[in-house]
Amino acid sequence: MINISSIIEISGTVAFAISGAFSAMQKRMDIFGVIIMGFVTAIGGGTIRDILIGDTPVSWMRDYKLPLIILGTVIAAILFKKYIKTFKVTLFLFDALGLGLFTIIGIQKGVSIGLNPGICIALGTITGCFGGVVRDILLNHIPLIFHREIYATACIFGGMLYFLLVGYLDINIVKVIAITVICSVRIIAVKFKLTLPKLYV
């Protein structure tokens, strides 16, 4: 059954895969590199989460669907690379939606194995953000989320809200609120070019 949650997950995965494939093409990688970068960006966060909690084989290995979607996405991204920029805003919105959903998926995995709220929020943030961290390491960059734009902050904020509300409201309503908040914080941050202050010594 395809439900709202699946549609968001697929949209987010597609957006993450395109982001990885696109940055690989900017570095002039070959087709294998572009495919791997698409995969790593899309599934990296969930993979690190599964490894940290010992939920193995990691989830993409047990699920035919997601790897096929990523492969199809990357091939489409290669074929239509000229037009990717046209969809920039759409992709950004998918990415923000995916960020919200992935964070909540990570939090719920943590809750399901009895981890405490702070650790669950960390797990959610890792699920949402660390695909991008692995992508940046492979591209030989300092991870973008450590010094640009509000990204992880949105996850942490949404995660805290999740645990504040979870005792008072229906779980599905809490999830929708948390995802909406993460997504909104991210969109507002980009629209108004909000960043965290840089620290230095």
Which region holds residue 114: left if phi is over 0, alpha if psi is between -120 and 50, else beta?
left
Tokens of 23: 């940055």
Task: Enumerate residues 6+ apart whose C-beta is below 8 A from 1.
Answer: none
Question: Considering the complex, what minimum distance in angstroms separates the CB of residue 33 from a copy of itself?
Answer: 3
Tokens of 26: 């900017």
Comparison of 8 and 102: residue with beta carbon closer to a copy of itself: 102
Question: Considering the complex, what minimum distance in angstroms separates the CB of residue 136 from a copy of itself?
Answer: 9
Comparison of 173 and 188: residue with beta carbon closer to a copy of itself: 188
Question: Considering the complex, what minimum distance in angstroms separates the CB of residue 10 from a copy of itself?
Answer: 18
Comparison of 22 and 94: residue with beta carbon closer to a copy of itself: 22
Residues in the chain: 201
Comparison of 67 and 176: residue with beta carbon closer to a copy of itself: 67
- Residue 6 CA to residue 201 CA, distance in Å, equals 45
- Residue 44 CA to residue 164 CA, distance in Å, equals 28
151 touches 145 (CB < 8 A): yes
Residue 94, number of CB atoms within 10 A of its CB:
21
Question: Considering the complex, what minimum distance in angstroms separates the CB of residue 34 from a copy of itself?
Answer: 5
Interface residues with a copy of itself (CB under 8 A) are 22, 24-34, 36-37, 47, 51-54, 56-58, 60-62, 64, 67-68, 78, 81-82, 84, 113, 115-116, 118-119, 122-123, 133, 137-143, 145-148, 152-153, 195-201
Amino acid at 91: L
User: Measuring CA to CA, how many Å separate 34 from each of 22, 133, 135?
Assistant: 8, 16, 11
Question: Considering the complex, what minimum distance in angstroms separates the CB of residue 118 from a copy of itself?
Answer: 6
Comparison of 68 and 173: residue with beta carbon closer to a copy of itself: 68
